[in-house]
Amino acid sequence: RIVSVGTSNPPRRYTQQEVLDLFNCEVKLISRFFTNSHIKTRHLVLPDPTPDGTMPDESGEELLAKHTNTSLDIGCEAVARCLKDSPYAAEDIDFFGVVTSTGFLCPGLSAMVARDSGMRDNVHRIDLVGMGCNGGMNGLMAATQFAAANPGQPALLLTCEVCSAAYVFDMTIRTGVVNSLFGDGAAAVLLVADDKLTTAEGPQVLGFESIMVADAMSEMRFDFEDGKFNFYLGRDIPYLIGETINTPVGKLLDKFGLKKRDISQWIIHSGGKKVIDSIKYNLGLTEHDVRHTKSILRDYGNLSSAAFLFSYQQLTREDVVHEGDHGVTIAMGPGVSIETGLLRW
């Protein structure tokens, strides 16, 4: 079962217009990506302007340092908040997985956060790096499998994305799209397989279903240019996801003898307005079904692998689910990949 969840963001929150003003963006098409994105605010870690009012061009080394330092801050805070809402302490954790795509570290982020959070030195660890926005679901799958194979042993997953550590501001359309969309955030989720736990502690994770559109692999990707990672988002992404989404969702529901009408909660990655609308249309969802997804996009932007856990946290705060309810989690990312999971309260 999912026992608890905790989230964290860097302290500074920017409006879309504030980001445009900081970078003195006067390209109208790029400005439109910011102002028409249905995003109001995002948490970002941006450098201070120089005395002449221009934004410094952060080097690859500076961006990686930003990823490392910010990840430790928000990652440890998300872990602490998650554990605070559970009966477990850091030294009780038997499995610790970390998901990130905004920087490569060796030793991995799992070792650093485990050390700084007070976990045991023999905690089982795994780092999932470079899977993108769907990586949180892949990590949830790994943590669930560990918990199921080791009843009573708590498994903790941290999704940690410092998207501002992968920003390139060169006033091109490519980077304008990316820079208008992503925000910084971390989310931790705790899972335990224990027959004594009930719906009051959280939902069961029943299973997963995946699909990868291999022919569209280049539509979402990182390129390495001039010592920096530069993210690319193809304009056909919403349509690719829309025409594919029914396949994994259908297989997931068939596996458990369910229909779409049996799903009372939909927890969907906030990938962007067009992506959300495409999923909503193709699955036949209502505006109410995607309320958490859209509110996370509005207030935080696209938080990559952490986004679906922010949406899940909002759902838990509503206190509207009942015993026997089913929920479907969906995340999309590079590949083009779609990951789905089924929950039961």
Residues with active-site annotation: 133
Other beta carbons within 10 Å of 153: 17
**Pairwise CA distance, residues 148 & 205, whole Å:** 10
- The answer to whether the peptide bond before residue 3 is cis (omega within 30 degrees of 0) is no
How far from 92 is each of 112, 119, 154, CA to CA, in Å? 17, 7, 7
Contact 9, 185 (CB under 8 A): yes
**Pairwise CA distance, residues 216 & 252, whole Å:** 22
Query: Got the DSSP string for 149-179?
Result: HSTT--EEEEEEEEGGGG---SS-HHHHHHH
DSSP assigned state of 28: H
**Pairwise CA distance, residues 143 & 187, whole Å:** 14
- As a whole number of Å, the CA-based R_g of the chain is 19
88, two tokens: 């477990």
How far from 227 is each of 66, 148, 166, 321, CA to CA, in Å? 15, 42, 11, 48
Contact 304, 331 (CB under 8 A): no
Q: E-assigned strands of 200-258? A: 204-212, 220-225, 228-233
Q: Which amino acid is at 133?
A: C
How far from 110 is each of 104, 116, 118, 233, 341, CA to CA, in Å? 12, 10, 12, 28, 24
Q: Which amino acid is at 164?
A: S
**Pairwise CA distance, residues 331 & 14, whole Å:** 25
Of 276, 249, 267, 264, nearest to 309 (Cα)?
267
